[in-house]
Amino acid sequence: MAETRKSYGNLASSLAKLGAICAALMLVLTPLSVTPAKAVLQIDITNANVEPLPIAIPEFIEAGSPADGINRDLSKVILNNLERSGLFRAIDPGAYIEEIRDINSRPRFGDWRIIKSQALVTGQSTLQDDGRLRIEFRLWDVFAEEQMTGLQYYTTPDNWRRVAHLISDAIYERLTGETGYFDTRVVFVAESGPKVDRVKRLAIMDQDGANASYLTDGSHLVLTPRFSPSSQEITYLSYFNNLPRVYLFNIETGQQEIVGDFEGMTFAPRFSPDGSTIIMSLAKNSNTDIYSMDLRRRIKRRLTYDPAIDTSPSYAPDGRRITFNSDRSGGQQLYVMNVDGSNAQRISFGDGRYATPVWSPRGDLIAFTKIYRGRFYIGVMRPDGSGERLLTESFLDEGPTWSPNGRVLMFFRQTPTRRDGSGGSVKLWSVDLTGYNERVVATPTEASDPAWSPLIR
Amino acid sequence: MSRKLLGVKHIGVLFALMFVAACASSEATNTGGSDIVPGSAADLEQNIGNRVYFALDSYSLDSAARAQLQRQAQWMQQWPSTTVRIEGNCDERGTREYNLALGDRRASAVRDYLVSQGVDGSRVETISFGKDAPTCGESTEGCWAQNRNGTTALTGGGVGS
């Protein structure tokens, strides 16, 4: 693999910068409220038709030396995150009455009630003499006139976006009672060029599409990247030297290595929940079966022996079971087996073909791609196969990946290519688990095969 | 009156026949001419045929595919130092990972047939691109049929390669 490393040597230094995430020091701000918090403001996110919560986030106050409008951008990034979740509605800033001048005084709640804002976030960014940025915020329940939470962070100025995501998570968590997912990244395949001569590159970005950068140079085909749950590593399929194999990619160093010395194509990799093992398919002697590879002890283990195609394996979050795709019944269906390969049970029985099962990080659902009468769907079902629900439909929707809190699915959608060459675009989309709030995810180029990172915290 | 009409019709058919003949002969001069070196990649692609097609979701070889692979096997025996790579391809109407496995099955089916026709297995390697190396870019039944294929690519030992 020396050759691969060499070819990515130039990328390594920029990647090191990318991977070096400055730990943001977090302190709790003392509540300014005298009455004990009653926390009346709460969003029930299990309800499909939840009315978005009206929220106001005025521009953060700028204190200390000027810092390139970071104060303005902080509130924008936070609002964008919350609005994209579908659970919040931003009040038009033009309607704001009170101008927030002091982070440490209580807002005039009446001014915010009049414009029907239920939640209010005030904040301040201070560029200190030591060059560090102090960012603080307070979340207010406008009707109860109480501070719900307040935190401050110290970071380097170029790391302000990360703090905006951390604040978004804190607000989301306080108001929904669920873990946030904004301080996360997405690895995906960036696509360019005509359909018959496509260039595909590994790329990584923040979950909101910012900070996108490429991890490979497009000189060979790359597919299906997936994040490690425990380290800054990605596993993916590379056609380096025309030998399609599963690779490990270290985001911090840019180094790559082949996973195992398999004779035959390895593909469809995923990490185990503890990050110690990669599970994948091996195509050998005209048959595709599922294997696991212990990364530390370098031990490979064959898990399926069926003459049919067995692929797309995905672990349950407790690491004890595996869901996978097989055509052993005659068509593509979903199965669940024990982690040692025993007791494989078919779980999908609806009309059509089922593929790409991915176990939810909560363990309660399996997301999948369904093909039925020439249309593609993203759906979910329980691990016993009950409760199937289809969330999206199009000409081609494929490859769902879960947000780390199990509330949102990201996938890719391709439109048909017409005879004149138009159409055929491939984009990332997200949809809420309820099937609502379908949105395109901004990417610098066309994109496919998204994989959500775990929470970085 | 009816005679005249018939006559016009005949002229039309005649024109059509001449047109077809012209096409066929111009194709013949383009592809079968002396500019193609026997034993070369172009010879394999244009005179023998290097691509067999599969039905939807299938990896079995029909009679047309078997006939072409018999020609490929004969050609490889005629040019004994040649080596090939069989590329298994699928249309875009499946999921990526399953199609990688299906493409492997298609490539393996082609390799196995060549070997059954007397080609040494060490001269034939396989690779699957699943749905990621289409030769036809449109989202039409015609393109999808073209993209479900096993393509024999010369990797070494050819004349002039």
B17 pLDDT above the threshold of 60: no
Write the CA distances from B112 to A262, B12, B43, B79, integer angstroms. 21, 48, 22, 19
CA distance B65 to B48: 12
Q: Which residue of B has its CA nearest to A420?
A: B138
Q: What does the pLDDT read at residue B30?
A: 44
In sequence order, what are the residues at sequence separation of 6 or more whose Cβ sits closer than 8 angstroms to the Cβ of residue B21?
Answer: none
- Reduced to 3 states (helix: H, G, I; strand: E, B; else coil), residue B78 is helix
Alpha helices in chain B (DSSP H): 2-31, 41-42, 63-78, 96-116, 141-147
Where among A124, A159, A176 does a domain terminate? A176
pLDDT digits (tens, 9 = 90+) for A374-416: 999 999 999 999 999 999 999 999 999 999 999 999 999 999 9
Which of A115, A142, A176 is the endpoint of a domain? A176
Check residue B54 and report its DSSP letter.
-
Say yes or no to pLDDT of B4 above 80. Answer: no
A407 in a structural domain: yes
Residue of B nearest to A287 (CA): B105
- CB distance from A424 to chain B under 8 Å? yes
Same domain as A296, residue A315: yes
**Tokens 């797309």 sit on residue:** A312
Of A298, A289, A283, the C-alpha closest to A243 is A283
- Could you tell me what percent of chain B has a pLDDT over 70? 78
Angle value at C-alpha A210, between A268 and A252, nearest 5 degrees: 55
> Which of A220, A312, A397 would best serve as a mutation to test chain B binding (most B beta carbons within 10 A)?
A312
Q: A191 with A172, same domain?
A: no
Tokens 């960036």 sit on residue = A190
The DSSP bridge pattern shows strands A222-227 and A233-238 to be: antiparallel
- Please check whether residue A278 is in contact with residue A293, taking contact to mean a CB–CB distance below 8 angstroms: yes
Size of interface A-B (CB pairs under 8 A): 97
* Chain B residues within 8 A of A371 when measuring between CB atoms: 93-95
Best to test chain B binding among A195, A199, A323, A324 (most B CBs inside 10 Å)? A195
Question: Per the structure, how many domains does chain A have?
Answer: 2
Helix (H) or strand (E) holding B84: strand B83-89
Q: Which residues of B touch A (CB under 8 A)?
A: 85, 92-98, 100-102, 104-105, 108-109, 112, 127-129, 132-140
Domain of residue A62: give its range.
31-176
- Render A277-343 in DSSP notation, one character per residue: EEEEEEEETTEEEEEEEETTTTEEEE----SS-EEEEEE-TTSSEEEEEE-TTSS-EEEEEETTS-S
Which positions 258-317 of A are in contact with B (Cβ < 8 Å)?
265, 267-268, 281, 283, 285-286, 288, 309, 311-312
For residue A80, count other CB atoms closer than 10 A to its CB. 17
3-state secondary structure at position B153: strand
The structure tokens listed for A54 are 């009206």
Is the model's pLDDT at B56 over the cut of 80?
yes
Please give the pLDDT value at position A44: 72
- Does one domain contain both A36 and A109? yes
Q: Do B101 and A395 touch (CB under 8 A)?
A: no
CA distance A398 to chain B (A): 7
Domain boundary among the residues A176, A193, A220 is at A176
CATH number at residue A95: 3.40.50.10070
Chain B hits for A369, Cβ within 8 Å: 95
ipTM given for this complex: 0.90
Nearest 10 degrees: Cα torsion B18, B19, B22, B26: -170
pLDDT computed for residue B136 by the predictor: 95
| Beta-carbon count within 10 A of A267 CB | 27
Q: Chain B residue with minimal CA distance to A221?
A: B132
Which CATH number does the domain housing residue A195 bear?
Answer: 2.120.10.30
Contact: A416, B85; criterion CB under 8 Å = no
Q: Which chain B residues touch A195 with a CB distance below 8 Å?
A: 134, 137
Which of A196, A374, A399 lies at the smallest CB-CB distance from B96?
A399
Measure the CA angle with vertex A76, ends A70 and A78; round to 5°.
100
Query: What's residue B9's pLDDT?
Result: 39
The residue extents of the domains of chain B are 40-156
Residues facing A238 on adjacent strands: A222, A245
Q: Which residues of chain A have pLDDT under 70?
A: 1-25, 30, 32-40, 45-49, 456-457
- Predicted confidence at residue A41, as pLDDT, reads 78
**What pLDDT was estimated at residue B161?**
59
Minimal Cα–Cα distance from B36 to chain A, Å? 26
Lowest-pLDDT choice from A186-195, A420-429, B47-56, B97-106? A420-429
CATH 3.30.1330.60 fits B40-156, yes or no: yes
Residue A138 shares a structural domain with residue A189: no
Please name the residues between 373 and 402 in chain A that touch chain B, using a CB distance below 8 Å: 374, 395-396, 398-399
